[in-house]
Structure 1
Amino acid sequence: MADKQHQYQVKVTWTGNQGTGTSAHRSYSRDHRIEAAGKLSGIDGSSDPAFRGDPARWNPEDLLVASLSACHKLWYLGLCASAGIVVQAYEDNAEGVMLEQADGAGQFTSVVLRPTVTLAPGSDLDKALELHHAAHETCFIARSVNFPVTCEPQLVIG
């Protein structure tokens, strides 16, 4: 099968002009709106509160961790369906670590996915655990980042 290229387009609109634009570092809000054609609603974003952002809004760091978690989940559910393993519930408490340098630059150093997966009675626990590794190996987002992403799954029989 030949490689396929996919494109993703989003619109990010800064909504934080408080009347004087970026006339000073503290004169504007970091708020923005993330939208994409055909999506039901947008996402209200800002920067992390450590960088003068609104703590009630999503920040890019939150969204990166959420993207890694959601991608893993989607692959895992699909692999389970193909393997005849019935997942009844899936909840991930993922955590990312970002290192900020003295000059203000920074990067993520790790993300840990901690999914709790409820499986139907009679499920093959070894296979269900193995599929987490397979999901990680195929997750588009995990394959695209330059820091370690690990998975610490907990399996529960429903």
Structure 2
Amino acid sequence: MNLSEHQYAVSLEWTGARTGGTTGYRDYGRDHVIRAAGLPDLPGTADPTFHGDRDRWNPEQLLLAALSQCHMLSYLHLAVKHGVVVTAYEDDAVGQLRLNRDGSGEFTSATVRPRVSLADESQRELANALHTNAHKVCFIARSVAFDVHHEPRHPAAADPSEGLTHE
């Protein structure tokens, strides 16, 4: 049973129309702008492999960003609920995309690799366990048709120049 439903809306405008439009595969740009009411425009394109612009976001990056954001937000909620004080959080998400001979493709997996700093290091075991629960309640992870893994990393293993230290 659904307690409530939420609707989300974005608009997309293709800005890559060149003279002649889609007269040939290399004759049009992949650039576009994604908009949502009250937010800054998000410049989009295709992955550079598919003639996109490296300076703009591609759908594959946005999907990974959505997974990473959702995991973090779910995790922070659970941390509060369980009395775990998180003082810093970073993630380096990666995903694997398989291209098929017919031109289609799909993500086969993604992995979020959060590094979490805690106010009380004695809660590390509980803090790490919360990642499993965060994964189970993350709206985006529950909505995709590929495996999403989580590999929490201890901040001490991170490069100290990244600014994550134990407090």
Into which bin does the TM-score normalised by the smaller protein fall? over 0.9
User: Aligned equivalents of 2:58 and 2:143: distance in 1?
Assistant: 20
Letter paired with 1:34: I
**Residues 6-42 of structure 1, C-alpha deviation per residue, up to 9 Å, x if partnerless?**
1110001000011221111111100000000122x01
Higher helix share: 2
Question: C-alpha distance in 1, partners of 2:96/2:4?
Answer: 32
Task: Name the counterpart of 2:110.
Answer: 111
Contact 1:30 1:46 in 2 (8 A): yes
| Residue 94 of structure 1: aligned partner | 93
User: Which residue does the alignment assign to 1:61?
Assistant: 60
**TM-score normalised to structure 1 length:** 0.95
Query: How far apart in 1 are the matches of 2:86 and 2:13?
Result: 38
Q: Structure 1 CA distance, aligned partners of 2:46 and 2:121?
A: 45
Q: Percent identity?
A: 50
TM-score, normalization: structure 2?
0.90
Partner of 1:46: 45
Distance 1:61 1:2, change over 3 A: closer
Aligned residue for 1:124? 123
TM-superposed deviation, 1:89: 0.8
2:136 alignment counterpart: 137
Q: How far 1:74 moved relative to its partner? A: 0.3
Q: 2:3 — aligned with what?
A: 3
Contact 1:22 1:28 in 2 (8 A): yes
Which has the larger share of strand?
Answer: 1
RMSD over equivalenced CA pairs, Å: 1.3
> Is the contact made by 1:86 and 1:123 (CA closer than 8 Å) also made in structure 2?
no
Cα distance in 2 for residues equivalent to 1:93 and 1:122: 22
- Structure-2 residue corresponding to 1:30: 30
Distance 1:35 1:124 in 2: 41
In the alignment of these two chains, the number of paired residues is 157
- Three-state SS of the structure 2 residue aligned to 1:124 is helix
Structure 1 residue ranges without an equivalent (≥5): none
Rounded Cα–Cα distance in structure 1 between residues aligned with 2:10 and 2:66: 15
Shift of 1:125: 1.1
Offset of 1:76 from its aligned partner? 0.4
SS at match of 1:74: helix
Q: Distance in 1 between matches of 2:2 and 2:120?
A: 39
Task: Give, in whole Å, the separation in 1 of the partners of 2:2 and 2:49.
Answer: 45
